[in-house]
Amino acid sequence: MPRYTLVGVRVETAQEAAQREWFASQVTAAPANLNEAARQIITLVTTLLGLLLGLLALASGEPPLFLRTVEIKAGSLLALALWLVALAAGLFTVVPQMETAASGRPGNQAEVFERILRRKSIALTVAAIAFGLGLLALGVVLALAIWLA
Dump pLDDT digits (tens) for 78-120.
999 999 999 999 999 988 888 887 777 778 888 888 898 899 9
Highest mean pLDDT among 11-15, 55-59, 72-76, 128-132: 128-132
Section 117-144 average pLDDT: 93
Which residues does 84 contact at the CB level (< 8 Å), separation at least 6?
45
CA dihedral 66, 67, 73, 79 (to 10 degrees): 120
What would the 3-class secondary structure string for 26-46 be? Answer: HHHHHHHHHHHHHHHHHHHHH
pLDDT at position 136: 95
**Are the C-beta atoms of residues 132 and 79 closer than 8 Å to each other?**
no
Read off the pLDDT band of 1 (50, 70, 90): low
CA of residue 51 relative to chain centroid, distance: 21
Model pLDDT for residues 40-85, shown as the tens digit of each residue: 999 999 998 888 777 776 666 777 777 788 988 899 899 999 999 9
3-state class (DSSP) for residue 11: coil
This model's pTM is above 0.85: no
